[in-house]
Structure formats: C-alpha cells, structure tokens
Amino acid sequence: MITASIGISFYPENSDNPEELISIADTAMYYAKLKGKNNYQFYTVELKEKLEKKMSMETELRNAILNNELYLHYQPKFNLCANEMIGMEALLRWENAKFGNVPPVEFIPLAEETGLIHSIGDWVILQALEQMWEWKRKGYRSMKVSVNLSLVQLRQLDFGKKLAKAIEAYDVDPTLFELEITESVMENVAEILPTLEEIKSIGVGISIDDFGTGFSSLSYLKSLPIDTIKIDRSFILDLIHNKDDEAIVKSILNIGNNLNLSVVAEGIETVEQLNILKELECPIGQGFYFSKPLSAVDFEEKFLK
C-alpha cells in the first residue's frame, strides 16, 4: 500500500513566484512527514517559523555535549512508611545559550528523531555512573540510581555489552543501577526483549515509567524482566478529589503486589496525597513534596552529608 505526504502552498497568498511556491510546498510536506506521514499540511508563516526553530535547535543539540550544556539533576525516592530516602532518579537537563533552559519534552523527541539520543543517552549513563563512583569515593551511603532509557537506545544491538563495560569501569554495584523505560516498549516486545534480558542478566534493575498512561498489557508485564512499575503523576495529581484515580492507583498497587514488583508513585506534591498513598500502602514515592530535582552538589549537601 502506497501513501502520500502532501505539502500545499497557495498562489498568490504565499508567493507569486513559481519556484518559491514549490519550495514552500516542500517545506509543508516536510511537516506532513513529521506529523506521522500519510497526511497533508498547508504552508503558513507559523509553520515556517516552527520548522526553522526545530532545525536551529537540532544544530544546537548536536553540539550540546561538546559545549558542556547538558547536566544531570537528581530527585530522591522515599520509602513512604519509614520516611527514609532509598534512591534517586537522574534527570537530564539542557541549558543552551540561544534557547535557554529547554524542557526535556522538547529536546528528547528531537534527539530520538535525529539519532542524537544514542550519544546523549550514552553520556547520561556514564555521567550517572561517574557520580555514583564519586559519592562512593566520599564514603556516602550507597543508594539505587535510576536513569531514563529511550526505546531507540534499546534497539542498539550492543547496548547490553556497552552498559556492562561502563558499570565495570566505574566499579559500581549493578544492583544499585536502574533503567527506566516507558510503556511504549510493550509495542515492540519481540524486538527489545533480548536486550532487556541481557540488561537483567548484568544485575541492573528495569522499571516501567509512567505506568497506566500508554500501551499496557498484563501478559507483557508478566513476561518482561522488570522489577518496578511507576504510577504516572497524572493519577496522583487529583488523588484527593477523584475516586477514579484512587481506584486506578489501588489497582496498580495490587498488580505490583501480585507480580512481586516494587511500585513507585510519581509526582507527590502535598501531604494529603502522601497520606492517601500511605493508606493504600504504596511503598515508594517521589515528587516535589520531598524535593525538586537538584544538582549533584545540592543533592549531596541536602541528603547525603
């Protein structure tokens, strides 16, 4: 089956020059491809500006590592019953001279689309392992560190081998390292299952992030080599007033208990949310109630010393 991505420009509204009309129609066609292909898009000034920004951001992102613009922040995870910190999530940030502080929701999809996620993802893992080694050298208590992993990275045939080599190089206990993947991987189980099993064989933990918002299948959940599921913040946000959200959280906790999986609640912001999660016997949580993501220096000062 053949489908078409179509870009459309108008004479004379967009231009009265034939060559330019074709050129801007081509620009609109490029956007049609970005929108998933097999659709049409009209050329507009706003579209042009959006595409120009995207191409400019891609150029900046290609130099982000070289220019030391990427860095990690760390957000703690707490045992809710004992009120004790048991680990943290490493979160990627990008501060660019031209675009300022770019939200991950903007630059991560761009990195995946352009293939830059491979080099950026490798950098994140090495940076997190180096920080773990540094904290170990200073004699701080060892805790699990989680890093987000893209489906694109999982498609690398040598990912498991590279990960094992990096963990060995930094002399980190693999059981203290965890990779967080989104539910979208469940749509590609056959493709990435060997890599997940290789990761698991190293001793590294695997967590399903934003659980309950994407493509969920209990049969896949049972067959995947995972240790943890994280309840998406959207179910925590209105937990106090929305009984449906409370029922969903309770169901996810039951799934975790029945499958012998750890469960983490994301996005805890108030004591009321915390109290409900405690009543539901949710074991672990993270969110602004405990701390916003902090630089390694600030995290060390606040939680490790």
Q: If you search the block for the tokens 């049972």, which residue do you land on? A: 222
Q: If you search the block for the tokens 């701390």, which residue do you land on? A: 291
Whether the CB-CB separation of 173 and 141 falls below 8 Å is answered with no
Annotate 94-103 with b (16+ C-beta within 10 A) or e (fewer): bebeebeebe
- Average pLDDT along the chain: 93
Q: If you search the block for the tokens 């020059």, which residue do you land on? A: 17
23 residue type, one letter: S
CA proximity to 284, closest of 82, 74, 78, 86: 78
* pLDDT at residue 187 tops 80: no
Q: What is the pLDDT of residues 106-121, one digit of tens each?
A: 999 999 988 999 999 9
Quote the pLDDT of residue 185: 73
Whether the CB-CB separation of 99 and 155 falls below 8 Å is answered with no
Single pTM value for the model? 0.88
Quote the pLDDT of residue 188: 74
Quote the pLDDT of residue 9: 95
